[in-house]
Amino acid sequence: MILARPARLALVLLVVTFLSYALLDLLPGDTTTQILGLSASEEARERLRAELNLDDPLMVRYLDWLGGLLTGDMGTSPITSVPVTEALAERLPVTLELLVAAQLIALGLAVPVGVAAARRAGRALDQALTALSFALLSTPVFVLGVVLILVFAVELRLLPATGWTPISLDLGWNLTSVLLPAVTLGCGQMAVYARLLRTDLIATLQEDYITLARARGLSPRRILWRHALRPSAISLVTAVGLNLGALIGGTVIIETLFGLPGVGRLIVESIFSRDYLTVQGGVVLISVGYVLVNFAVDLVYVAVDPRIRRA
Amino acid sequence: MKRLTVSTALLTSLALGLAPALAACSGERPVAPSDGAAATAGASPVRGGRLVYGLGADAAGFNPVTDQFAAVSYSMAGTIIETLVGVTASGGWKPVLAESLTPSRNADEWTVKVRPGIAFSTGEPLDGKTVMANLEAQKASPLTSSVFTPVGSFELVDPMTVKVKLTGPWVAFPYHLASQIGMVVPPSSLADPEAASRRPVGTGPFVFKEYTPGSRMVVARNPSYWRKGLPYLDEVEFRVLPDTQTRAQTLEAGGIDAMGTTRDDDIVKFGALKDAYTVKRASGMSVPEYMFMLNTAAPPFDDLRLRRALAHATDRAAVIATLRGGLTEEADGPWSKDSGWYAPGGDYPAYDLEKAKALVGQVEAEKGQVSFEVITPPDPNTMQGIELAQDMWRKAGVEVRIRQVDQADLVNRAVTGDFQATVWTQFSSADPDGEYVWMHQNYARPVGSVALNFSRLKDLRLSQALDTGRSNPQDDVRKQAYATVQQRLRELVPYVFVDHLSTGAVIARTGVGGIGEHLLPDGDRGVPLTGAPIPYHPFSQVWVGGR
């Protein structure tokens, strides 16, 4: 099953990249106008179209691009004249750090919140945490982001409102610059994870082996953290993998809101400027990342629940 | 005890997430020390210090020969690369890298004498050969060649002098050298355009230090800058902050020292805080016009009555009160009253709903129900304006559909004539001749062909007036010519003008001085702010005082 993964990855990539190539081709607007501006002559536009092979059929251009991809060449952006791999490599660390930080914050908050709600299911704390989860789930990230900036940057002046400091420049300032965006992005995920964990934990706590553990006199804390949490985490682990797509979508908004130079913003800017090659490169990157993360999630299942290994 | 357990878990979790960052944070990003004392606007310039400047977008490259320059490009690259000419506060032009520009008697030749004793930061000297190589590269570039259409050839007269031979008289030629096409880069940049696109080199007050695409650009003082005593700042950091609201919040939070904006909310809010911020707004010829551009080559706006009806139905005062907080002035042409080129005359249709209804009725009687589609980019502010106009036009009996398209699609439709009406912002050239290609009938092509005259209006009188303005060196004759241009535009209504969009502004904290207050090399005051939608300005005479 694991060996079939690379083949599946290749198939997914083929389908996704072709579809995105075709969709971009359908978009109205002209790359030559984006490059040359409004005042360029028709002759100059025609010359550029020929130079960029924009008049070739879609399939010819796609296969040409695919051939380049197989040799590790994603092409050079006709808009910025920067190699696509270079542009993505510059932006990837920002998005990766944002994603990882958001997931860590979401999980770091969701586990205690979920456990606390499950232990007191139906009581005031559970209801309060449920209300908080729904509030976070129903708040759009751009609203939450603006509110957090107002509180922590404008009023309290604890954190910078915008901007990015790379890790290589200063770790402390890097963490400072990623915190607000990561909290904004992670809050919605936290609510989802906490709800999932709470539901699964409540079900697990009603299992026979938990009753047996209680009868043996094990402390509630030990039962909860040692015996109930792990088997209740399967849905949570699945959600972490599947939510990566939603998180990447969220980074587009977050990166724009907080002025972070990440892959999400690069892709959106490239779509608006009809920079097909950069968009394609971004699509490949996200597709590969998504498949690899979900592959890793499959491996984590085995570690979380030994029954899967035995099966 | 149980409650304590839960709280501990929550707090631990929070602390794990927040502690490292809070520990690293003092609330303000560290800045290079300034050797100047505290200062406020109006005080003497302070040498040293670092300015952090918020921009709404990144530049699409810094090579003036190969990359399309927007206002942000001029802000960023303009710190490093200088132009041959500058525009004065009174709307004239003065040499910058050029020592002089002298026209022949009928202005069909211009002799450009290069200012001596200037070198690029690479050490390469600035001379006539380099200037000519730059002009030739611009003429050959598909990006800028259309501006050089009237240019025949260049000739190196002596090591510091270039003669530009034109195909006809062109009195406003120097104004064009104040823009991207007049920027001069060293031979090494011309030889390696890709490197020049990422690491700009010039003769300017600053040198390139660092650039992270989509994030920031840092420039540092050029120690061998040819204008003695300048620049005042040690460093400028341009930070790309696309979201207008968070850009303003970053200024409030002290994360940046100054920013550009087009939001009337920002102008009102920061303008009220006079002790903390200064607001500089664009004015005169630098201000673009907000309008609805009509395609005069396609139904229904090939009918002049309907174009006039639409203008009669547009309550410009209501738009300004509703959308601009009353900050702008009504427009009835491409140049504002404070520009020096404004001329009354012509019969621009004032707001009069009854006249609008009557004209629509006439057209309907001949051609049936009047309806059209207006295209707009999907941003909320523009949509508000369109919906307001839709409501006004419906009251006149015209059925209007709104179609949202992205900016790239909108521009493409304008260029190829695939539209009936579109929201549009244009006309901020320093000299009226800068609008020549957008209005002259020689640049109007049939729908489906690429045309620079997007409204596709063909009018002989208007085009002849544009030709006169381009070729006649006498100021009064030029003024009369451009008065005719305005008159014809008012009569023929290819554009339903709304307002002079003077909400382009630069907002700075009060410790920042010199924004919009620079002198050109020969002592003339330069134009304070220029460009649209967010204006730009030079940074050589900007300084920072108290923080």
Q: Tell me the CA end-to-end span of chain A in Å, nearest whole number.
A: 13
| Residue A269 contacts residue A108 (beta carbons within 8 Å) | no
CB contact under 8 A, B253 and A29: no
> Which residue from A minimizes the CA distance to B198?
A82
Of B24, B414, B450, the CB nearest to A173: B24
Interface membership of A87 toward B (CB under 8 Å): yes
Of A81, A179, A266, the CB nearest to B18: A179
Query: Nearest to residue B114, comparing CAs of B65, B180, B177, B61?
Result: B177
pLDDT in tens, A262-308: 999 899 888 888 888 999 999 888 888 888 888 888 888 777 776 66
Query: How close A158 comes to chain B (CA, Å)?
Result: 4
Rounded to an integer, what distance in angstroms lies between the CA atom of residue B420 and that of residue B424?
Answer: 12
The residue of chain A with its CA nearest to that of B24 is A172
Tokens 């770790």 found at: A171
Cα(A181)–Cα(A255) distance, integer angstroms:
8
Residue A113 to residue A136: CA distance in whole angstroms: 13
- Nearest-CB residue to A153 (from B13, B215, B249): B249
In chain B, which residues have pLDDT < 50? 1-41
Query: For residue A77, what is the nearest residue in chain B, using CA coordinates?
Result: B60
How far apart are the two ends of chain B, measured CA to CA in Å? 49
- pLDDT tops 50 at residue A166: yes
Rg of chain A (C-alpha set): 24
Q: Which residues of A touch B197 (CB under 8 A)?
A: 80-81
- Which of B68, B148, B270 is the best substitution to test chain A (most A C-beta atoms within 10 A)? B68
User: Chain A residues with CB inside 8 Å of B142's CB?
Assistant: 36, 40-41, 44-45, 47-48
Q: Which of A160, A166, A274 sits opposite B408 (nearest CB)?
A: A274
Min Cα–Cα distance to chain B from A12, Å: 29
Q: Do A116 and B22 touch (CB under 8 A)?
A: no
Minimum Cα–Cα distance from A81: chain B residue: B194
Of residues B21, B243, B415, nearest to A176 (C-beta) = B21
The answer to whether B65 and B137 have CB atoms below 8 angstroms apart is yes
User: What was the pLDDT predicted at B297?
Assistant: 96
Asked if B29's CB is within 8 angstroms of A166's CB, the reply is: no
Mutate to test the interface with B, among A25, A36, A38, A88 (most CBs of B within 10 A): A38
Chain A partners of B215 at a C-beta cutoff of 8 Å? 163-164, 259-261
CA distance B327 to B525: 26
Q: What's the gap in Å between the CA of A199 and the closest CA on chain B?
A: 18
pLDDT recorded at residue B193: 93
Which chain B residue lies closest to A275 (C-alpha atoms)? B408
- Does residue A220 surpass a pLDDT of 70? yes
B240: which chain A residues are within 8 Å (Cβ-Cβ)? 259, 261
Q: Are B213 and A90 in contact (CB under 8 A)?
A: yes
Give chain B's count of helices (H) and strands (E): 16, 21
Which residue in chain B is spatially nearest to A118 when comparing CA positions? B6
Two tokens at B237? Answer: 């950091």
Taking the CA of residue B509 and the nearest CA in chain A, the distance in Å comes to 15
Q: A175: which chain B residues are within 8 Å (Cβ-Cβ)? A: 20-21, 24
Who's near B269: CB < 8 A, 6+ residues apart? Answer: B248
| Contact check, Cβ <8 Å, A33/B197 | no
Chain A 31-50, CB below 8 Å of chain B: which residues?
A: 33-42, 44-45, 47-48
Q: What is the pTM of this model?
A: 0.83
Q: Nearest 5°: CA angle at B424, between B423 and B426?
A: 170
Maximum distance among all alpha carbons in chain B?
Answer: 97
A47:B142 CB<8 A: yes
Strand partners, B303: none
Question: Which residues, numbered 207 to 246 in chain A, qualify as contacts with chain B under a Cβ-Cβ cut-off of 8 Å?
Answer: 221
The helix/strand/coil state of B232 is coil
| Residue in the block written with tokens 């005593």 | B229
Contact criterion met (CB < 8 Å) for B450 and A36: no
pLDDT digits (tens, 9 = 90+) for B223-259: 999 999 999 999 999 999 988 888 999 999 999 999 9
Measured in whole angstroms, how far is the alpha carbon of residue B309 from the centre of its chain?
A: 31
Of B13, B255, B412, the CB nearest to A30: B412
**Element (H or E) spanning B156, and its range?**
strand B151-158
Residue A165 pLDDT class (50, 70, 90 cuts): confident
Using the beta-carbon criterion (under 8 Å), do A105 and B240 form an inter-chain contact?
Answer: no
Which residue among A125, A171, A257 sits closest to B246, beta carbon to beta carbon?
A257
At residue A246 the predicted structure's pLDDT band, cuts being 50, 70 and 90, is: confident
Write down the pLDDT at residue B372. 96
Where does B307-398 show beta strands of DSSP type E? 329-330, 371-376
CB-CB under 8 Å, B405 with A259: no
Most A CBs within 10 A among B31, B69, B243, B433, hence the mutation to make, goes to B243
Average pLDDT over residues A236-256: 85
Contacting residues of B for A163, CB less than 8 Å apart: 29, 215-216, 239, 241, 250, 255
Smallest CA–CA distance, residue A300 to chain B, in Å, is 22
Edge-to-edge order in the sheet of strand B289-294: B329-330, B495-500, B289-294, B421-426, B371-376, B399-404
Give yes or no for A125 touching B (CB within 8 A).
yes
Contacts of B21 in chain A (CB under 8 A): 159, 172, 175-176, 178-179
A90/B60 touch (CB, cutoff 8 Å), yes or no = no
Q: Any chain B CB within 8 A of the CB of A183?
A: yes
Please list, in sequence order, all residues whose beta carbon lies within 8 angstroms of the beta carbon of residue A206, skipping any fewer than 6 positions away: none
A-B contacts (CB, under 8 Å): 208
Q: What is the interface pTM, i.e. ipTM, of the complex?
A: 0.76
Among A28, A80, A150, select the one facing B60 at the smallest CB separation. Answer: A80
Q: What is the pLDDT of residues B413-425, one digit of tens each?
A: 998 899 999 999 9
